[in-house]
């Protein structure tokens, strides 16, 4: 009797990467006859394609593929007709005729890709071209170990600040779920979540490409792209504090302490509590660059006649609040 092939995520991944055997491919085709399984496969394939954008169709030798299927299915059998069931004939034909049209393969092997995921901490990484990406928490980035060819490409989900090494002959391209970003050499912040993209340019300019639309964003400007509406909204403003997690530059102008604390908690691995909720209503003005969170909170406390204490990863401010 034949050994049953169990469909697993690993097998599906090998199929999408072009590494599955003909028997495994046939088993996967049969498994997709169920609506539930077909839906699961579709979602898996979509996730795969978004994670690995650099794909191209691989030329398929149909005769060689058929011979391989034929050999593996009939090995050890004297009678082909008794072994080759109608279902397998149909599945084999579908596989061979459609494999070139429906399956995309990576132009590079998995070994040539780097996948970086941050969860709790903020991480600074150097890319192959010496560009630097600072990843905020809960961010995923996928790129090649070496940027070959005429472009430097990666995919991003989450938030990251990029300082790109200039190279006019080799554009730097970031793929997100909402749009693509193309630059030559500049500094900018990217937030990509749930089909929405926000780009803030600190230096230079970037080109946003969204379903045939394109928009250049200059220094001091930001843009929001929503995949569902395919719109690109440009604003003549950049929130310096939003990228403080990477730059450690902050500008607070009459800002309520609730917003100040929120910004600092995003930028540093600390929690900030207050003894009286009214303290969060107090407004603060100050500019900081490369200052520690301890120094910032000490200055805040001194300016507003508050006391600050630290317990592990938590700061507590005490004193009189504001109406």
CB 268 within 8 A of CB 241: no
Please give the DSSP secondary-structure letter assigned to residue 63. Answer: H
Q: What is the pLDDT of residue 243?
A: 93
Q: Is 70 exposed, middle or buried (0-12, 13-18, 19+ CB in 10 A)?
A: middle
Q: What is the pLDDT of residue 304?
A: 93
Q: Is 131 exposed, middle or buried (0-12, 13-18, 19+ CB in 10 A)?
A: buried
Backbone angles phi, psi at 134, to 5 degrees: -105, 115
Q: Where are the alpha helices (DSSP H) in 17-61?
A: 22-31, 35-51
Torsion of CA 8, 13, 18, 21, to 10 degrees: -10
pTM of the predicted structure, to 2 decimals: 0.64
As beta bridge partners, residue 4 has: none
Q: Which two tokens stand for residue 212?
A: 């045939």
Which overall architecture, per CATH, does domain 110-238 show? Sandwich (2.60)
The tens-digit pLDDT sequence of the chain (323 residues) is 445 788 887 788 778 777 777 777 888 888 888 888 888 888 778 776 765 554 433 333 434 444 544 454 444 444 333 334 444 444 443 343 333 323 323 444 455 788 888 887 899 999 999 999 999 999 999 999 889 889 999 999 999 999 999 998 899 999 998 899 999 889 999 999 888 999 999 999 999 998 878 899 999 999 999 888 778 999 999 999 999 999 999 999 999 999 999 999 999 989 999 999 999 999 999 999 999 999 999 999 999 999 999 988 999 999 998 98
Q: How far is CA 132 from CA 127, 158, 162, 309, 310, in A?
A: 6, 16, 6, 35, 32
CB 217 within 8 A of CB 205: yes
Torsion of CA 254, 222, 149, 123, to 10 degrees: 20
Q: What is the pLDDT of residue 228?
A: 80
Residue spans per domain, the chain: 9-106, 110-238, 248-318
Query: 247: part of which helix (H) or strand (E)?
Result: helix 244-247
Q: Are strands 213-218 and 307-311 parallel, antiparallel or unpaired?
A: unpaired
Q: What is the pLDDT of residue 79?
A: 38
Q: What is the pLDDT of residue 305?
A: 93
Biggest distance spanned by C-alpha atoms of the chain: 92
Indicate the fold that domain 248-318 takes in CATH.
Phage tail protein beta-alpha-beta fold (3.55.50)
């Amino acid at each position: 009797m034949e050994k049953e092939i169990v469909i697993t995520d690993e097998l599906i991944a090998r199929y999408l990467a072009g590494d599955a055997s003909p028997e495994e491919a046939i088993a996967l085709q049969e498994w997709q006859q169920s609506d539930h399984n077909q839906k699961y496969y579709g979602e898996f394939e979509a996730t795969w394609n978004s994670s690995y954008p650099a794909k191209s169709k691989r030329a398929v030798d149909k005769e060689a593929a058929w011979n391989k299927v034929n050999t593996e299915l009939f090995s050890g059998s004297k009678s082909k007709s008794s072994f080759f069931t109608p279902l397998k004939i149909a599945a084999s034909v579908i596989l061979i005729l459609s494999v070139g049209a429906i399956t995309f393969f990576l132009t590079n092997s998995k070994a040539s890709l780097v996948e970086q995921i941050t969860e709790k901490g903020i991480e600074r990484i150097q890319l192959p071209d010496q560009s630097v990406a600072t990843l905020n928490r809960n961010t995923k980035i996928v790129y090649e170990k070496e940027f070959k060819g005429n472009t430097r490409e990666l995919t991003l989900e989450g938030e990251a600040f990029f300082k790109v090494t200039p190279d006019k002959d080799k554009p730097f391209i970031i793929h997100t779920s909402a749009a693509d970003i193309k630059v030559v050499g500049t500094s900018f912040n990217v937030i990509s979540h749930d089909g929405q993209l926000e780009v803030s340019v600190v230096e230079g300019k970037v080109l946003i490409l969204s379903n045939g639309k394109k928009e250049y964003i200059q220094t001091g400007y930001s843009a929001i792209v929503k995949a569902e509406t395919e719109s690109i909204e440009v604003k003549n403003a950049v929130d310096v504090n939003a990228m403080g997690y990477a730059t450690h530059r902050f500008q607070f102008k009459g800002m309520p302490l609730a917003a100040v604390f929120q910004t600092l908690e995003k930028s540093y691995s600390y929690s900030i509590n207050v003894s009286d909720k009214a303290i969060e209503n107090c407004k603060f003005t100050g500019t900081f660059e490369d200052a520690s969170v301890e120094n910032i909170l000490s200055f805040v406390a001194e300016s507003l006649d508050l006391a600050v204490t630290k317990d592990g990863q938590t700061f507590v401010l005490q004193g009189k609040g504001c109406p």
